[in-house]
């Protein structure tokens, strides 16, 4: 018996909606990365982008446990001398809630060309409205 390897042309993609309100950031990001990677399917193939599309709503209502709001820092560097920008998780949640979730999910995806392909299928919104209703997304519950 040979191992099944899915081909890129045979991938059937679905759309899923995850409601992030009052859910821990890591749990939402882990579930989204799992679906983007395609690991929830029986036809999962590691070297093929066989994942589905993910829409995350209510990014501004995501929870951080413990003292992470004050202790967790997000770093950016412009490449120039003295170009380090540091923001706390509290600032990120208030002003850049979409970016906070996107960074968490991106860190859980594979690095390289395949991971960048998977990351393009992620859509994060701060509120409850999204523009993908024509794709008929299915709501996904997180335990």
| Tens-digit pLDDT string for the chain (143 aa) | 788 899 999 999 999 999 999 999 999 999 999 999 999 999 999 999 999 999 999 999 999 999 999 999 999 999 999 999 999 999 999 999 999 999 999 999 999 999 999 999 999 999 999 999 999 999 999 98
Please name which of 53, 52, 46, 64 lies closest in space to residue 100, comparing C-alpha atoms.
Answer: 64
pTM for the model stands at 0.93
Name the E strands within the chain.
Answer: 15-19, 53-57, 73-77, 84-88, 122-124, 138-140
Alpha carbon of 54 to those of 9, 22, 61, 96, 107: distances in Å? Answer: 20, 18, 18, 19, 16
Contact 122, 99 (CB under 8 A): no
Gap between the Cα atoms of 17 and 123, Å rounded? 9
Gap between the Cα atoms of 10 and 8, Å rounded? 6
* CATH architecture under which domain 13-64+95-140 falls: Alpha-Beta Complex (3.90)
């Amino acid at each position: 018996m040979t191992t099944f390897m899915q081909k890129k042309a045979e991938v059937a993609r679905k759309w899923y909606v995850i409601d992030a309100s009052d859910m821990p950031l890591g749990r939402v990001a882990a579930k989204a990365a799992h679906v983007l990677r395609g690991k929830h399917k029986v036809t999962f193939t590691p070297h093929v982008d066989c994942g589905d599309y993910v829409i995350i709503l209510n990014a501004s209502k995501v929870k951080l446990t413990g003292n992470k709001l004050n202790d967790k820092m997000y770093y950016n560097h412009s490449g120039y001398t003295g170009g380090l920008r540091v923001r706390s998780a509290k600032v990120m949640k208030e002003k850049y809630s979409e970016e906070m979730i996107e960074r968490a999910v991106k860190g859980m995806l594979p690095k390289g060309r395949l991971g960048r392909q998977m990351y393009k299928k992620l859509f994060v919104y701060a509120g409850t409205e999204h523009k993908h209703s024509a794709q008929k997304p299915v709501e996904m519950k997180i335990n």
